[in-house]
């Protein structure tokens, strides 16, 4: 896979207003990105408006019309970070679990699918690419976020499909499989977490090195070693996890 270059490129980050998306946007700016479309559902929540290389973009990834507007507004984009994510349900047996699973799928799977579908012509050349922010929970189910894990498993499959589809045209496709990150999403988890900024830096290092499957923190690296040697043992290890 061709390695992407950040300096001088044009990027788009979904969910750029907080958490990992905010950290990725800051890290892109520090590494000399020429322009970054900072996409958010609510533009009032974006904190970068004073930086002239940042172009705010209204984008709810579950809204087809927003995605179509985004490609008009950001036709020069070269690297798309599918970062926006949602984690709701803590059990598959709760009264709301089916409805919550649908919402997670809409954001975590259909959102990136819509964006890849819409932006494919813009990304169809060497030096351009997509970075899908997945999760270790998409490789092995985590007991306290089962439907989130299912949506990230769907994203993992989409990442593989996009890689196989776009490989011949030179478009880079990266999957990120992160462990716990210190953001709002993981606020209730009493386990060690990596900082969003260090995870963002590790992701961009790996993107620039042309690494396809990115494990951007110590927890993820250690899990990856187990997962790559035995997916079944990795499943058992996660199944035994407790909060």
The site for ligand NAP (CB under 6 A) is made up of: 14-15, 17-21, 40-42, 45, 59-62, 83-86, 107, 133, 135, 178, 180-181, 183-186
Q: Report the alpha-carbon distance of residue 102 to residue 88 in Å, rounded.
A: 10
Shortest spacing between CB 1 and ligand NAP, in angstroms: 22
For ligand NAP, the closer of residues 74 and 107 by Cβ is 107
Contact indicator for 143, 239 with CB cutoff of 8 Å: yes
DSSP per residue over 132-155, as a string?
Answer: EEEEGGGTS--TTSHHHHHHHHHH
DSSP per residue over 46-75, as a string?
Answer: ---TTSTTEEEEE--TT-HHHHHHHHHHTT
Residue with tokens 């990856």: 224
| Closest residue to ligand NAP: CB criterion | 19
Shortest spacing between CB 125 and ligand NAP, in angstroms: 26
Distance (Å) of CA 135 to CA 17, 110, 175, 182, 231: 20, 16, 9, 14, 15
For ligand NAP, the closer of residues 113 and 178 by Cβ is 178
Shortest spacing between CB 62 and ligand NAP, in angstroms: 4
Shortest spacing between CB 84 and ligand NAP, in angstroms: 3
For ligand NAP, the closer of residues 22 and 166 by Cβ is 22
């Amino acid at each position: 896979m061709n390695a992407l270059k950040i300096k001088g490129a044009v990027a788009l980050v979904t969910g750029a207003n907080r958490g990992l998306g905010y950290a990725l946007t800051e890290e892109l700016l520090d590494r000399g990105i020429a322009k970054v479309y900072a996409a958010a559902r609510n533009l009032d929540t974006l904190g970068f408006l004073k930086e002239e290389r940042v172009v705010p973009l209204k984008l709810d990834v579950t809204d087809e019309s927003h995605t179509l507007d985004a490609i008009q507004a950001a036709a020069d984009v070269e690297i798309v970070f599918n970062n926006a994510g949602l984690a709701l349900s803590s059990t598959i047996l709760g009264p709301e679990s089916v409805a919550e699973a649908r919402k997670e799928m809409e954001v975590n799977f259909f959102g990136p699918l819509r964006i890849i579908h819409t932006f494919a012509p813009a990304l169809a050349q060497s030096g351009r690419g997509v970075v899908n922010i997945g999760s270790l929970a998409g490789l092995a189910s985590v007991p306290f976020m089962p439907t989130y894990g299912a949506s990230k498993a769907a994203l993992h499959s989409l990442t593989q499909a996009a890689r196989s589809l776009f490989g011949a045209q030179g478009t880079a496709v990266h999957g990120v499989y992160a462990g716990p990150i210190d953001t709002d999403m993981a606020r209730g988890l009493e386990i060690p977490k990596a900082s969003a900024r260090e995870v963002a830096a590790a992701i961009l290092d790996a993107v620039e090195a042309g690494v396809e499957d990115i494990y951007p923190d110590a927890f993820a690296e250690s899990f990856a070693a187990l997962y790559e040697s035995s997916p079944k043992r990795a499943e058992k290890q996660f199944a035994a996890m407790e909060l």
